[in-house]
Amino acid sequence: MGLAQGFAVETSGLSKRYSTGVLAVDDLNLRVRTGEVYGFLGPNGAGKTTTLRMLSGLLRPTSGGATVAGGAPGSPGSLTRMGAMVETPAFYPYLSGRDNLRVVARYAGVPTSRIEPVLRQVDMTDRAHHKFRTYSTGMKQRLGVAAALLKDPALLILDEPTSGLDPQGTVEMRELIKELRHGGRTVLLSSHLLNEVELTCDRVGVIAKGKLVAEGTVDELRARSGGSALLVRATPLDQAQRLLQSLLLASQIQVRDGVFSLAVDPAQAAAISASCAAPSSRWRTYSCN
C-alpha cells in the first residue's frame, strides 16, 4: 500500500458518450487527494458509475484521460495499487464466499493467506463457506469490499456500498468505511445520499448530468449555496406532491424534471421519507445543493 503524495485520482476532460448517443460523463475534471476519503455524490443516472468504470478500465473514455493510482486506468500498474467494487458485487454463485476470494486472489496474484484477514475485517468469517448465491444483499456487499481489500490497495473505489442495505447494515458498512482509511489509504466513495458522504468523507464532488458541479467539504458546499435543499425523487408524482404539501409550505417545494427540491435541512430526510411512505409510492432521497 502507499501512493506518492499528490492525487490518487486525477481526470482531465474525461467524457463518455455511449453508442446510444447518451452523454453520460461530460468533461469531468476530478482530483482525489492521496489519503483522503472522497465522496462522489450525485443522483442516479448522473454519471457516477460510468466514471468509476472508466477509472477501473472497464470502459474506454470517448475523450479525455485519467491517472489512477499512478497509472493509466486498467493498466496492470494501476490495477495492482487499487481495489474496487463497481456497481453490484459480482461473484460466482456456485462458489462459496471463500472460494470466490480464492479466485479473485489468483487473478490478482495475491497470496491466499490474505483471505482470512480480509474476511475478518468485513466480519464474514462465519459465512465464508456458504455459497455466494445464498448471501443477503449486505453479505454480498461485504464480500465485495473484502475482494477489493485483498490487494491491500492504496486506493479503494467503492460504488454505492450501502445500496440495498437495511439500516443496521448501512451503519455497519459506514463504520467499516471509516476503518478502511487507516494507514493512509485513499477511498473514493460514490453515493446518492448526502448524509452518507457527510458522515464518512473528507471532501465531496457533486456530479449532475455528467458534469462536476461542485467540489469541497460538505460545510464549504453548504456555505457556497447559502442554504440547503433536499432532493427527492418519488412516484407517483401527483400523490407525492399531495403528501409533501401536507407536510411543508408550498414555498418550500419545487418540482423539476420529476424531482422535488425541498427547502429543508437534509437531516430531515429520514423523517420526511418516513412520513410520506405509502405502500403505493416509491421514495428516494438523494442529494443536496
Partner 1 sequence: MIASLRAESLKTRKRWANWILFGILLLTFILLGYVLTYVVLSNPPRNFESRVPARILKREVFPENLIPNMLSLTSTIGAAIMIILGGLSTASEYGWLTIQTILIQKPSRRAVLLGKLAMLAIVTLLVSAGILAATALTSYLLVTIDGSSSSWPSATLLLKGFGALWLEFAVWTAFGMLLGITFRSTAAAIGGGLTYLFVGEALLAQLLRNTEGVKEVLRFLPGVNAAGVNASFGLTFRNLNATTQLVDATRGTITLLAYLVVFTVLGLLIFVRRDVGGS
Q: Does 72 engage in binding with partner 1 (CB under 8 A)?
A: no
Q: Which three cell numbers stand for residue 154?
A: 492504496
Name every residue whose Cβ is closer than 8 Å to that of residue 257 and which is 6 or more positions away in sequence. Answer: none
Helix (H, G, I), strand (E, B) or coil at 288: coil
- For 220, which DSSP code? H
Binding partner 1 (rule: CB under 8 A), the pick from 10, 33, 64, 95 is 95
Identify which range of 104-112, 206-214, 228-236, 237-245 contacts partner 1 by CB under 8 A.
104-112
- Over the window 35 to 64, marking each residue x when it contacts partner 1 by CB under 8 A and - when it does not, the resulting string is --------------xx--x--xxxxx----
Question: Minimum Å distance from CB 256 to partner 1?
Answer: 24
Residue (of 72, 162, 179) closest to 120 by Cα position? 179
Stretch of residues binding partner 1 (CB under 8 A), selected from 74-82, 170-178, 214-222, 241-249:
74-82
Count of residues that interact with partner 1, criterion CB under 8 A: 40
Judged by CB under 8 A, which of 1, 4, 72, 92 binds partner 1? 92
CA 256 to chain centre: 24
Q: Which stretch binds partner 1 (CB under 8 A): 95-103, 177-185, 236-244, 251-259?
A: 95-103
Q: Which residues, numbered 143-202, are part of the site for partner 1 (CB under 8 A)?
A: 147, 151
Q: How far apart are CA 200 and CA 67, in angstroms?
A: 24
Q: How far is the C-alpha of 55 from the C-alpha of 36, rounded, in Å?
A: 17
Instruction: Determine which residue in the list 10, 23, 108, 209 makes contact with partner 1, applying CB under 8 A.
Output: 108
Q: Tell me whether residue 79 or residue 244 sits nearer to partner 1 (CB atom).
A: 79
Contacts of 69 (CB under 8 A, 6+ apart): 3, 8, 9, 77, 78, 80, 81, 82, 153, 154, 155
Does 21 help bind partner 1 (rule: CB under 8 A)?
Answer: no
